[in-house]
C-alpha cells in the first residue's frame, strides 16, 4: 500500500459540478487541490443531463426560484447569496459559453450542449493547478495512517492497488443514488454512518410512478403524452400541491416533467399511506362550472365519446383515462363524468427504482452540518451537491444548487484551514 502525501492540500472526492466548483474555489486561493473520482472521467452525469439540451438554470425571480426547494428552501436559499442563477450565467460566459432564456424561462447554453462547457472548465482547472486522479474510489478512513501533521487519512482503491491519502481537509461531493452507472452509487452512505454521521434514506426524486393499468389501456396508450393537463396531490401536511403541464403514460404508470415536479409530495404520501391518489384535471383551461355546463347538455344520438370530444375536446388518451379510472356505471353517469374531467382520481402504488430517477432525495441532513457545510462530527470534512438532503424539480434547479453548494463547501474549507493554521 502506497501513501500519497501533500502539504496544505484539500482532497475533493467526486468530480461532478459540486466537486469541480469546490476545487475551483480552493485553487483560486492558492490551495493545492486534488480531485478523486471512481469513474474513468469526471462529469459523467453532467454530460448525460445535457444530452437532451443542457438546462443549466432558470430565469424566474429569485424568491420563486428558492421556493422550488420545498422544505429545504431555508437551507438552500442562502447558498445563492454568493452564487445564484445570475452569477451562474456570468460564470458560464467567462468560460466562453453564452446562454439564452428559452420560452419556458429555462436557461440553456446557446449550443444546447454540456460538453463544450465541461471541456472549457476542466481546461481552466488544470491550468490553475488542480490535479485529477481517475479510477480512484474513496473506501473510507485510515485511522492508523494519520499523523501529527495531518487530520485526515483516506483510503482509496486505485488501479494500482490500495493507497492512503493524507490531506488537510476533505470535500465530499459524491452525488446521491440515481444513475449509479455514472458514478453516483451511494457507496458513501455506510462510510459516513460508520462515523456516526446521520444520513436520511436515499429515495427516488424526479421519477416516474407505477399504477395498475389494465392491459387494453396499456397496449393502446403506453408511450403517449397527456398534454394540457394539471395534477393535484395532497401532501403529508394536508396542503394541496398543484401543477399544470404534461406527462407521459408508460407501460407501468406515469412519468414526465409534470409528474417529476410533484414527485416529492407523491413519494411522501406513498410512504405515509402505502399509495398516493393524484387528481387529474383533463381540462385545466376550463372552469369546473363550464365543463359541467357543456357535458350535461343533451347529446342526442351521439356516443359519449363523440359528445365529450365535440363539447370540450376530450379525446384520445384523455378519453382513455376516463374509461380507465371510472367504473362503467360512472362513465355513463353524465354528471359524474363532468366532475371527473376536472378531478379524475388516479392511484399510484410505487415510485420507479432510484436507479431510473433523474435525482434522489435524502442524504446528509443540514442539521448535521455547520453554516459552511462542514460535518459537525468530522471537523475538516465538508459535503456538497446531491449527497445533501434536499431535492428540487428539473428546470435548472438541481444543477444550480450543486454549483452553489460546491462553492460554499470550498469557501468553507478555506475558512477551516485558516482557523486551524493550515
Domain boundaries, the chain: 2-204+356-419, 209-351
**For residue 35, what are the β-bridge partners?**
12, 132
Q: For the domain 2-204+356-419, what is the CATH code?
A: 3.50.50.60
Instruction: Give pLDDT tens digits along the chain (422 positions).
Output: 444 444 579 999 999 999 999 999 999 999 999 999 999 999 999 998 877 789 999 999 999 999 999 999 999 999 999 999 999 999 999 999 999 999 999 999 999 999 999 999 999 999 999 999 999 999 999 875 444 445 789 999 999 999 999 999 999 999 999 989 999 999 999 999 999 999 999 999 999 999 999 999 999 999 999 999 999 999 999 999 999 999 999 999 999 999 999 999 999 999 999 999 999 999 999 999 999 999 888 888 888 889 899 899 999 999 999 999 998 888 888 889 999 999 999 999 999 999 999 999 999 999 999 999 999 999 999 999 999 999 999 999 999 999 999 999 999 999 999 988 76
Q: Tell me the C-alpha distance between 422 and 417, whole Å.
A: 5
Cell digits of residue 68:
422550488
**Model pTM?**
0.92
Q: What secondary structure does DSSP assign to 118-146, as a single string?
A: HHHHHHHHHHHT-EEEET-EEEEE-GGG-
CA triplet 65, 22, 359: central angle to 5 degrees?
50
Q: Please count the CA atoms within 13 angstroms of the CA of 191 that sit on its side-chain side.
A: 18
Amino acid at each position: 500500500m502506497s501513501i500519497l502525501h501533500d502539504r496544505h492540500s484539500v482532497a475533493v472526492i467526486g468530480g461532478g459540478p459540486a466537486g469541480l466548483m469546490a476545487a475551483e474555489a480552493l485553487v483560486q486561493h492558492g490551495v493545492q487541490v486534488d480531485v478523486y473520482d471512481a469513474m474513468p472521467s469526471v462529469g459523467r452525469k453532467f454530460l448525460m443531463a445535457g444530452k437532451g439540451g443542457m438546462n443549466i438554470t432558470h430565469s424566474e425571480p429569485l424568491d420563486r426560484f428558492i421556493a422550488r426547494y420545498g422544505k429545504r428552501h431555508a437551507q438552500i436559499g442562502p447558498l445563492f447569496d454568493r452564487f445564484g442563477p445570475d452569477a451562474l450565467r456570468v460564470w458560464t460566459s467567462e468560460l466562453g459559453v453564452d446562454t439564452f432564456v428559452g420560452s419556458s424561462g429555462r436557461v440553456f447554453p446557446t449550443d444546447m450542449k454540456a460538453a463544450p462547457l465541461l471541456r472549457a472548465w476542466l481546461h481552466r482547472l488544470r491550468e490553475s493547478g488542480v490535479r485529477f486522479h481517475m479510477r480512484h474510489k474513496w473506501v473510507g478512513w485510515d485511522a492508523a495512517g494519520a499523523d501529527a501533521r495531518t487530520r485526515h487519512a483516506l483510503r482509496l482503491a486505485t488501479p494500482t492497488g490500495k493507497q492512503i491519502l493524507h490531506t488537510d481537509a476533505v470535500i465530499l461531493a459524491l452525488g446521491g443514488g440515481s444513475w449509479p452507472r455514472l458514478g453516483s452509487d451511494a457507496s458513501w452512505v455506510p462510510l459516513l454512518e460508520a462515523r456516526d454521521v446521520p444520513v436520511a434514506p436515499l429515495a427516488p426524486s424526479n421519477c416516474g410512478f407505477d399504477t395498475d393499468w389494465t392491459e387494453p389501456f396499456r397496449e393502446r396508450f403506453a408511450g403517449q403524452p397527456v398534454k394540457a393537463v394539471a395534477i393535484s396531490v395532497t401532501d403529508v401536511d394536508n396542503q394541496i400541491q398543484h401543477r399544470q403541464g404534461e406527462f407521459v403514460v408508460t407501460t407501468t404508470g406515469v412519468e414526465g416533467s409534470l409528474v417529476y415536479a410533484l414527485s416529492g409530495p407523491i413519494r411522501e404520501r406513498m410512504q405515509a399511506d402505502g399509495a398516493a391518489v393524484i387528481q387529474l384535471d383533463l381540462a385545466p383551461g376550463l372552469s369546473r362550472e363550464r365543463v359541467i355546463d357543456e357535458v350535461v347538455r343533451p347529446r342526442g344520438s351521439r356516443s359519449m365519446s363523440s359528445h365529450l370530444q365535440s363539447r370540450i375536446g376530450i379525446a384520445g388518451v384523455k378519453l382513455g383515462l376516463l374509461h380507465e379510472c371510472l367504473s362503467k356505471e360512472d362513465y355513463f353517469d353524465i354528471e359524474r363524468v363532468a366532475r371527473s374531467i376536472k378531478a379524475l382520481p388516479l392511484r399510484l402504488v410505487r415510485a420507479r427504482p432510484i436507479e431510473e430517477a433523474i435525482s434522489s432525495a435524502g442524504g446528509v441532513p443540514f442539521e448535521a452540518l455547520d453554516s459552511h457545510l462542514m460535518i459537525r462530527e468530522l471537523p475538516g470534512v465538508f459535503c456538497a451537491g446531491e449527497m445533501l438532503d434536499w431535492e428540487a424539480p428539473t428546470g435548472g434547479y438541481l444543477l444550480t444548487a450543486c454549483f452553489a453548494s460546491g462553492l460554499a463547501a470550498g469557501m468553507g474549507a478555506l475558512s477551516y484551514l485558516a482557523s486551524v493554521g493550515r
